[in-house]
Amino acid sequence: MLQATDLVMRFKKNRVLDGLTLDLAPGAVTVLLGSNGAGKSTLLKLALGVLKAGAGSLAVCGFDPVKQPKHARRAVGYVPDKPDVYDWMTPRELYRFLKPQYPTWNNDKVERSCTALDVPMDRKFGALSRGEGMKAMLVAALAHEPELLLLDEPFAGLDPVVREEVLRGIIAELRADERTVLCATHDLDVAARIADRVAVLHRGKIAQHGDLQDVLGGDDEAGRIPDRMRLLLAEAV
Amino acid sequence: MRVFARYLWKEWRDQRVVLLGALVAIPLLLALLVFVLPRSVTEDESFGMVTAFACLALAALAVGNEALPSESRRQTARLLARLPGGLDVAFAAKLCVVLATLIALPLYGWSIAAAFGASGVDPRLHEYMPGAFAVALWMFVVSSWLPRGALAIPATALTLGVMALPVYLVWTHNPMMTPREGALEAGIVLLTMGAVWAGWWSFARGRRFSRGAWGSSWRGLVATTVLFSPAWAYSAIESHDFHRAPDPQSERWFIQTAYIGTGQRFAFVTGADTRRFHPRARVSKPVVVDLRDGTWRAVGSPHESFRPLQRVYPASEYPVIALVDLKEPGNKTRHLWTHYFSGATGSVVKSGWSDMLFSEVQSLVPRLPRVAPDGYTFRVRYGWAVSLSKGSRRFLRDPFADKLYEIPQELRRGQYFVLKSGWLSGVRGSWRRFDPKTQERVGPEVPRPDWANTDT
Q: Do the bridges between strand A148-152 and strand A76-79 make them parallel or antiparallel, or are there none, so unpaired?
A: parallel
- How many CB pairs (< 8 A) connect A and B? 57
The 8-class DSSP code of residue B262 comes to G
Confirm whether A68 is domain-assigned: no
Give the CA radius of gyration of chain B.
30
CATH number, domain with residue A132: 3.40.50.300
> What is the arrangement of strands in the sheet containing B320-326, beginning at the earlier edge strand?
B304-307, B320-326, B335-341, B348-350
Residue A110 lies in a domain: yes
Amino acid A1: pLDDT: 82
CA A142 to chain centre: 12
A118 part of a folded domain: yes
CA-to-CA separations, A159 to A6, A71, A165, B194, in angstroms, rounded:
37, 36, 10, 50
- Between CA B65 and CA B151 the distance in angstroms is 9
Q: What is the DSSP string of A58-83?
A: EEETTB-TTTSHHHHHHTEEEE-SS-
Identify which of A52, A89, A101 has the shortest CB distance to residue B84: A101
**Chain B residues 5-44 within an 8 A CB cutoff of chain A:** 5-6, 9-10, 13-14
Which residue, among B326, B388, B321, has the nearest Cα to B351 in the 3D structure?
Answer: B321
CB of B250 less than 8 A from some CB of A: no
State CA A31 to chain mean position distance: 8
* Domain-located, residue A58: no
Q: How far apart are CA B57 and CA A149, in angstroms?
A: 46
Find all residues with CB under 8 Å of B29, minimum gap 6, and list them. none
Per-residue pLDDT of chain B (456 residues; tens, 9 = 90+): 788 999 999 999 999 999 999 999 999 999 999 889 888 888 888 888 999 999 999 999 999 888 899 988 888 988 999 999 889 999 999 999 999 999 999 999 999 999 988 777 778 888 889 999 999 999 999 999 888 888 999 999 999 999 999 999 988 877 667 777 788 889 989 999 999 999 999 998 888 877 778 888 999 999 999 999 999 999 998 888 777 777 777 666 666 666 666 666 777 777 766 565 554 444 567 888 777 777 888 887 666 666 554 433 333 434 444 445 444 444 544 555 556 677 778 777 765 444 444 444 444 333 333 323 333 333 333 344 444 333 455 666 665 666 667 777 677 666 677 666 777 777 777 888 888 888 888 888 877 655 433 433
| Chain A neighbors of B82, CB-CB under 8 A | 48-50, 73, 78
pLDDT at site B4: 92
DSSP 8-state secondary structure symbol assigned to residue A144: T
B438 touching A (Cβ < 8 Å): no
Give how many domains chain A has, as a whole number: 1
Instruction: Tell me if A10 is assigned to some domain.
Output: no
Mean pLDDT is lowest, of A34-48, A211-225, B125-139, for A211-225
Distance CA(B350)–CA(B337), nearest Å, equals 7
- CB of B106 within 8 A of CB of B56? yes
- Our separate counts of H helices and E strands in chain B read 12, 16
Kindly state whether residue A206 falls inside one of the protein's structural domains.
Answer: yes
**Given an 8 Å threshold on Cβ–Cβ distance, is A86 in contact with B10?**
yes
Give the CA count within 13 Å in the CB-facing half-sphere of B134: 16
The SS3 of residue B344 is coil
Question: Is there a domain that residue A63 lies in?
Answer: no
Give ipTM to 2 decimals.
Answer: 0.88
- Domain residue limits at A129: 25-49+75-236
In a domain, A80, yes or no: yes
Identify all chain B residues contacting A97, using CB atoms and an 8 Å cutoff.
6, 9-10
Global model pTM greater than 0.90: no
Distance CA A44, CA A26 (A): 16
CA B249 vs. chain centroid, Å, equals 33
- Taking the C-alpha atoms of residue B286 and residue B304, their distance in angstroms, rounded to an integer, is 9
Q: Decide if B79 and A93 are in contact by the 8 Å CB cutoff.
A: no
Q: Cβ–Cβ contacts within 10 Å for residue B453, how many? A: 8
Pairing label, strands B266-273, A205-211? unpaired
